[in-house]
Amino acid sequence: MAISDAVTAMEPGAGKSTWETLYRAAAERGAKVLAPRDTSGVTLPVGLEKVRIEAPVTDKSWQMTQDGLNFDVGPGERTRLWIQLPTEISVWVHMLIQPAFSPAAEPVAALRYLHDNDPEEVALRFRRSGVVVHKEVEIPMPAGRPMFFSIGVFNGILHLHLNGVPVYVRPARHPSATSFMLDVIGLAEGISNLHIPFLAVEAPDCFTSTVSEIDSALLATGYLEAARHSSVRHHLHETLHSLASARLAYDRTDVVELIGENRRAEGPFRDVLDDLLLDRLPDTTERQTLAANRPTPVIRVRDVSIELASNPAGKTFSDLIAKRRHSHVRLLHNLSFDGFSGDIIGIIGRNGAGKTTFLKSLVGAIPIAAGRIDIEERPILLRPGAGMQPDLTGRQNIYKTGLYMNMTMSEIDAMIDDVVRFAELEDHIDRPFKYYSDGMRARLIFSMATAMPRDILLLDELLSAGDMGFQERAMKRLHDFLARSKLVFVVQHTFDFVLTRCTKCLLLEKGIPVYFGEPRIATELYRELL
């Protein structure tokens, strides 16, 4: 029986005879099934009889019914399905899952795998709109529809299949899994419900027979159709990336049409999606023409690395003459991405990740050791205290910065009152800048940044200036300013702005680019690093 048959069995009006056939077919393949179905008389392979499927005694237990397993998890409650495996075998775990989460908040639900006493690893997290696979790839889950998950860890490789198609096949941290756990935690906003009509555990060599050609073709067609809805369009590039290893029956006409729709869509150009769609076309003149006619990026960063001497003060004149090379510290390693007109790119990461270092390289304050940065015009970097002369007054610093940005005196005169008023510095603007508090300095720089015209702007931790009242006004002013800018980079530690305003996000960890793309995926990965 194919995976498509399992999913079809969940459709409205599907008879129980379909389910009986599905369970019987799984049992006859040698799978251990957990459900009140007649699978008696089937001999399990050696080892599978030792598999234990249970709930921890401290949890609210799941309920077994004639229709499968039910998780009804209320506020403050927790329910876990624990599948414990004998150490001598590796298995596939199959679950057909239909979630029904509260619309008030994102659910706290995950499928994890464990190896002995090592720390557990998250294979996927559930969201209202889909699932996040291994912290990297988000795949949409149609509301009210089931999804068939198959997971296994074999020889150090994590395999995760969705509806019979491999969506994640990459190295795992552990050589095998000794248990799997489906974990659901109740939130205050409502009840989280999961319905599992089918659960089975089987040996690795049994699963290949469950994937049919029609499954792959149906999944490919379904995702291309789903991409035509704006509500899920932003998920498509992760989906295509995750399915790169699957042999799917993509139709050339559909792919070309999607490329055109993506390029004509309002808002910033989604270059990652464009690349993945082009990869689905054969290497013909048509593909070469489409690739040549894509929009031109405002900034192109290619293989950029930054290194600084670990002790530059210790270098002597003789060292320079002899060209002796001292030890260096790598601050950024092999960063590549494109930024297009209309992009607001968030940069997140822990302290020391390389965020400010990268921004300084864009304005030429720090040289790059390798790679190339092509940018339309020189941007300006605005961060608390940057470029401000401490002995000049706030007013004099405004004029100095405006002249540096090639503004005329009359242009600066026209905007200075607005800058002073918005920064709430009417009584302090003619005092030396060195006597300003940190909040006053940040408010002045933020007001200047959002008053001076600039196509490419770099903001480094300027969104936390002032009290709550100022921050609310600052956010509205920033939104209006961003609408007039061509490209903006924002370094930020909080997620609200990244998730609501950024079109893309770069996650850095110790100078290494972890992810560049959808803000929701970047923030999810960042949470895992914290």
The pLDDT value recorded for residue 420 is: 94
Name the least confident of 142-156, 326-340, 419-433.
142-156
pLDDT > 70 fraction of the chain, expressed in percent and rounded: 71
The pLDDT value recorded for residue 335 is: 93
Residues whose CB falls within 8 Å of the CB of residue 206, separated by 6 or more in sequence, listed in order:
29, 30, 31, 92
Average pLDDT over residues 189-203: 77
Q: What pLDDT band is residue 229 in, cutting at 50, 70 and 90?
A: very low
Q: Is residue 259 over pLDDT 60? A: yes
Average pLDDT over residues 387-410: 86
Q: What pLDDT band is residue 239 in, cutting at 50, 70 and 90?
A: very low
By CB atoms closer than 10 A (0-12, 13-18, 19+), residue 283 is exposed
The pLDDT value recorded for residue 368 is: 92
- Other CB atoms closer than 10 Å to residue 369's CB: what's the count? 16
Q: For the residues of 186-247, what is the DSSP string, one character each?
A: -BTTB-EEEEEEEEEEE-GGGGGGG--HHHHHHHHHHHHHHTTSHHHHTTHHHHHHHTTTS-
Output 243 or 295, whichever has higher pLDDT: 295
Answer for the pair 463, 478: CB distance below 8 angstroms, yes or no.
Answer: yes
3-state helix, strand, coil in the chain (%, to 5): 35, 30, 40
Answer for the pair 474, 427: CB distance below 8 angstroms, yes or no.
Answer: no
Output 260 or 430, whichever has higher pLDDT: 430
Average pLDDT over residues 189-217: 63
Q: Is residue 286 over pLDDT 80? A: yes
The residue assigned the tokens 């089931």 is 146
Q: Is residue 58 over pLDDT 70? A: yes
Name the least confident of 38-42, 169-173, 433-437.
38-42
Residues 122, 21: Cα–Cα separation, whole Å: 32
Max Cα distance, the chain (Å): 91
The residue assigned the tokens 């969506």 is 167
pLDDT > 90 fraction of the chain, expressed in percent and rounded: 13
The pLDDT value recorded for residue 395 is: 93
Output 380 or 428, whichever has higher pLDDT: 428
Q: How far does Cα 481 stand from its chain's mean position? A: 26
Average pLDDT over residues 306-330: 65
Q: Which residues pair with 215 in a beta bridge?
A: none
By CB atoms closer than 10 A (0-12, 13-18, 19+), residue 50 is middle
Computed over its alpha carbons, how large is the radius of gyration of the chain?
A: 28
